Amino acid sequence: EVQLVESGGGLVQPGRSLRLSCTGSGFTFGDYALSWVRQAPGKGLEWVGFIRGKTYGGTTENAASVKGRFTISRDDSKSIAYLQMNSLKTEDTAVYYCSRGNCASTSCYVGFDCWGQGTLVTVSS
């Protein structure tokens, strides 16, 4: 069964850091782009960033709202992608989801067909 599981969420103070993990199973992890999406309380889905699959060099892109603070990486040998979140702000409070996509460099024709259940990050003093 194709599956993604996020972990690492929790309560953190503003200005601190947190690292989320996204563990995949049931598929060849390195072949896929991994995207992070978040949903703040009472809000819609917001794209955070993604990391390309090995075919496209595993490079990353982030949304403007997190650029310079969040970094995405991956370890295909462990089938894990990471979202390193630094200088957290209260507005980063959200459920964070990872999803997989069979993507070209900046476009994904077939959408994101598998999502994790999400992990909650609460930024509060």
The residue among 2 and 11 lying less far from other proteins, judged by its C-beta, is 2
Contact present, 92 and 15 (Cβ < 8 Å): no
Name the segment binding other proteins (CB under 8 A); options: 12-20, 43-51, 73-81, 84-92.
Answer: 43-51
| CB within 8 Å of 76: residues ≥ 6 apart | 29, 30, 54
Nearest to 4 by CA among 99, 113, 119, 74: 99
Q: Among 29, 32, 50, 96, which residue sits at the site for other proteins (rule: CB under 8 A)?
A: 50
CB atoms within 10 A of CB 53: 22
Q: Residues 12, 22, 37, 81: which binds other proteins (CB under 8 A)?
A: 37
Interface with other proteins includes 101 (CB under 8 A)? yes
Q: Choose, by CB under 8 A, the member of 35, 51, 74, 83 that binds other proteins.
A: 35
Count, residues near other proteins per rule CB under 8 A: 26
